[in-house]
Amino acid sequence: MASPADLNLVCNSGAGEVETDITGTGIDFISADNCLNTSGNRTSNPITIPAAGFAYSYEKWLKFELGTTEPDTQVTNFKFWGAGTEPEANVVLDYYQTTSTYATPALATTNAAYTAVSEATEGAKASIAGTLNSQGDATDYLVLMLEVSTGASQGNMAQQTYNYSYDEN
């Protein structure tokens, strides 16, 4: 039996699409374009609670990418889902979209092109396109962002768990 494929979760930032392997480390929603996940990063780049309307995080551009150990045939059927709840009901919401084309991460200004993560549940998983066969192959991008509105609690929000699955054969 062959070894499992080396599948990495990659965060992409900057105009030149700088790739950072974040497998096992996670992301943070902040007011800057970077792939760090540290307390200092969140302190230096907070999302300010607005007096009216909404404030947004920078987009987080993620993708799955094959490392050096390739699958016997392919890795496919990528799915993504959250817990089915909002980070803070009605005042802090996380959103996602998928796309095949990279764009420099931006500070979001609306949620119009996104879907609430609370809609992607274990029973209704979101699909991420991609069939990975060889080292360096990658899925489409999963773009995440956070929306904060008046009434949000001050300080760091509780850690969120995002889930993913895929098939390897």
Give the pLDDT confidence of 1-22 residue by residue, as tens digits. Answer: 467 889 999 999 999 999 999 9
Letter for the amino acid at 46? P
Per-residue pLDDT reduced to its tens digit, 93-111:
999 999 999 999 999 999 9
Backbone dihedral region of 133: left (phi > 0), alpha (psi from -120 to 50 degrees) or beta? Answer: alpha
CB count in 10 Å sphere of residue 10: 20
* Of 112, 13, 20, the residue nearest 59 (C-alpha): 13
Residue type, 106: A
> Across the chain, what does the average pLDDT equal?
94
Q: 29-60 pLDDT, tens per residue?
A: 999 999 999 999 999 999 999 999 999 999 99
Q: Please give the model's pTM, rounded to 2 decimal places.
A: 0.95
Q: Is 71 left (phi over 0), alpha (psi -120 to 50) or beta?
A: beta
- pLDDT at position 2 is 64
Q: Which residues pair with 94 in a beta bridge?
A: 146
